[in-house]
Amino acid sequence: MAELRLILGDQLHAGHSWYRDKRPDVIYLLAELRQESQYVKHHIQKLLAFFAAMRRFAEALRSAGHRVEYVRIGDADSALSLPALIEHAMTQWQCGAFAYQLPDEWRLDQQLRELAERLRALGKQVSCHDSEHFYGQREAVQDFFAGKSYRMEYFYRHLRKRHAVLLTVSGEPLGGQWNYDADNRERWDGDPAVPVESWRQQDLRSLHQEIIAAGIPHFGESLAEAFPWPTTRRMAQADLRSFIHHRLPYFGRFQDTMVDGQPWLFHSRLSFALNAKLLSPQEVVNAAVAAHADEPDRYPLAAVEGFVRQILGWREYVRGVYWARMPGYRQSNVLMHQRPLPWWFWTGETKMRCLQQAITGSLQNAYAHHIQRLMVTGNFALLAGCDPDAVDDWYLGIYIDAIEWVELPNTRGMSQFADGGLLGSKPYVSGGAYLHRMGDHCAQCHYAVNQKTGDRSCPFNSLYWHFIDRHADRWLVNQRMRPIVRGWQKRSDADRAAVLAQAQQHLLAIETL
Ligand code: FAD
Ligand code: SF4
């Protein structure tokens, strides 16, 4: 009897132990499913990237001698749910066994667990395998903190030690410090120049037409004529080499900066390749560490540690938080925010230059760098009190790298504080002054960053104090926020009333800001 093995769209890991042997009795199944294409409205580049990468992965498996069955988005079977498709395939090809890799999303995990029970009841063999991608197991964060408060920094240090990353022979952190974040907050004034790299240009027009013909809702620029994102492992490896050579040297220093007309700066753009598993986190971390070991002057420790912390630290940490807290995490909304997301999040048509740049860039490239996601779009949505469900759907749809296990903790937790501080001990909020310090958008903005009141006052300024004021009771019991509330409460009644009235005015006119 044959064994059916499922490969999900984000399980394109060519080095998985499944593929070591060619077995004539094994059928690999990949499917472009409507259930995956429509659970939120996706950016068209995200659909193109996943489908193209899945198709190429299937071709590579076939060329290596494996048997592969593939369902395209236009095929009738793409309308089936994942469990229905598998049951149908098992009957069609007379399979006595079903195997799958641990999915990264709770939703798919549930579907596959329930299916596995049904199949076992029918006498079929079912096996579940590790995806062999992450450094640790799903339960790693929960086990490590065991009831104590979660903090990324401790988990990161634990992983550095466990995997001997950037350590001396005696097990101390290289350079004497675990964290060089304080060195990584420079503003960029044009020097060094951002490298101009010619991106690859794949022609994905026929796939784009298939998606349109199948009626899958989508938005954003397609770039289908000259598609830049990697869709094979070889392309992803080339992107990694290019990042290490051109941008890693400056990664840390300018990690938090925002520049008009510069969507990437010195960021790696590797998140899609990592999340689709075209690259492994270990090979990315090892490449950065090796660069520092070979050429420490060109690749300073602060740059390399800053980059390693994103992957070995944040990426592994948010995955662990997700598995520790699902499914309830999806509903968390401790601040009870309910405002609809302004429509201009879908068009970029706002007079606020920082938001216009972050949103237009996202619509054009299915990408924004971390500080734009956190301190521009996320900051605004939180200050304005937008409903985390709507905020989640936006982030989950718009970014090329958005898969729920990584999007949800970043959005609900880190960005919207909807989990009440599980992921970060204080909300990531700021007025215009921080955005002005870290970027150059304010110079071209309709609003005046140094004004708190008046029609042209920067909305971030009054909305920041509105946010502090409306949740003051909560912040007074938060050690890190208390001094801010105390400072606010010491201001004159007239001053506070004027700022709050201005915030109300901006909120009333939110759609036209
Ligand atoms: P770089 O800045 O070059 O960082 C290198 C790598 O580190 C990234 O490719 C990514 O794999 C990892 N990384 C960095 N920060 C984080 C983080 N906070 N959590 C997890 N991994 C991290 N990342 C996603 O992969 N998918 C998402 O859906 C996603 N949604 C986000 C939503 C919000 C509100 C915020 C604030 C952040 C989100 N992030 C998400 C994290 C981060 O912004 C992106 O990983 C990063 O911007 C991707 O660009 P890059 O590859 O150039 O990253
Ligand atoms: Fe953004 Fe305010 Fe600066 Fe305008 S003035 S770019 S809204 S921070």
Contact status, residue 475 vs residue 481, Cβ threshold 8 Å: yes
CA of 404 to the centre of ligand 1 (A): 12
Q: How far apart are CA 343 and CA 341, in angstroms?
A: 6
pLDDT at 189: 82
Cα-based distances in Å from 120 to 87, 94, 101: 12, 15, 17
Q: How far apart are CA 352 and CA 397, in angstroms?
A: 22
Cα-based distances in Å from 470 to 3, 422, 466, 492: 58, 21, 6, 17
Q: Is the CB of 441 under 6 A from ligand 2?
A: yes
3-state secondary structure of 95: strand
Cβ-Cβ contacts under 8 Å for 423 (sequence gap 6 or more): 150, 152, 318, 321, 409, 413, 414
Cβ-Cβ contacts under 8 Å for 105 (sequence gap 6 or more): 403, 404, 405
Closest CA to 256 of 372, 148, 110, 156: 372
pLDDT tens, 466-504? Answer: 999 999 999 999 999 999 999 999 999 999 999 999 999
pLDDT at 195: 80
pLDDT at 4: 98
In this structure, what are the phi and psi dihedrals at residue 457, rounded to the nearest 5 degrees? -70, 145
Q: Quick one: CA torsion of 352, 353, 356, 360, rounded to 10 degrees?
A: 180
pLDDT at 425: 85
Q: Whose CA is nearest to atom 7 of ligand 2?
A: 352
pLDDT at 401: 98
Cβ-Cβ contacts under 8 Å for 285 (sequence gap 6 or more): 165, 308, 311, 312
pLDDT tens, 142-151? Answer: 999 988 888 9
Of 187, 258, 344, 354, the residue with max ligand 2 atoms within 8 A of its CB, to mutate for a pocket test, comes to 354
pLDDT at 163: 96
CA of 263 to the centre of ligand 1 (A): 14
Ligand closest in space to the Cα of 406 = 1
pLDDT at 277: 98
pLDDT at 347: 97
Contact status, residue 38 vs residue 73, Cβ threshold 8 Å: no
pLDDT tens, 175-230? Answer: 999 998 877 678 888 888 888 777 788 999 999 999 999 999 999 999 999 999 99
Q: Is the CB of 458 under 6 A from ligand 2?
A: yes
Contact status, residue 350 vs residue 395, Cβ threshold 8 Å: no
Contact status, residue 476 vs residue 483, Cβ threshold 8 Å: no
Of 159, 267, 271, 359, the residue with max ligand 1 atoms within 8 A of its CB, to mutate for a pocket test, comes to 271
Q: Which residues pair with 4 in a beta bridge?
A: 27, 98
CA of 448 to the centre of ligand 1 (A): 30
Low pLDDT (below 70) residues in the chain: 184
**b/e string for 205-228 if b means 16 or more Cβ within 10 A?**
eebbebbeebebebebebbbeebb
Contact status, residue 211 vs residue 47, Cβ threshold 8 Å: yes
Q: Quick one: CA torsion of 474, 475, 480, 482, rounded to 10 degrees?
A: -130
pLDDT at 489: 96
The owner of tokens 């042209």 is: 456
CA of 393 to the centre of ligand 2 (A): 25
Ligand closest in space to the Cα of 449 = 2
Q: Is the CB of 435 under 6 A from ligand 2?
A: yes
Residue type, 512: T
Of 239, 310, 373, 428, the residue with max ligand 1 atoms within 8 A of its CB, to mutate for a pocket test, comes to 310
Contact status, residue 30 vs residue 54, Cβ threshold 8 Å: yes
pLDDT at 181: 81
Cα-based distances in Å from 41 to 296, 309, 451: 44, 31, 37
In this structure, what are the phi and psi dihedrals at residue 340, rounded to the nearest 5 degrees? -65, 150
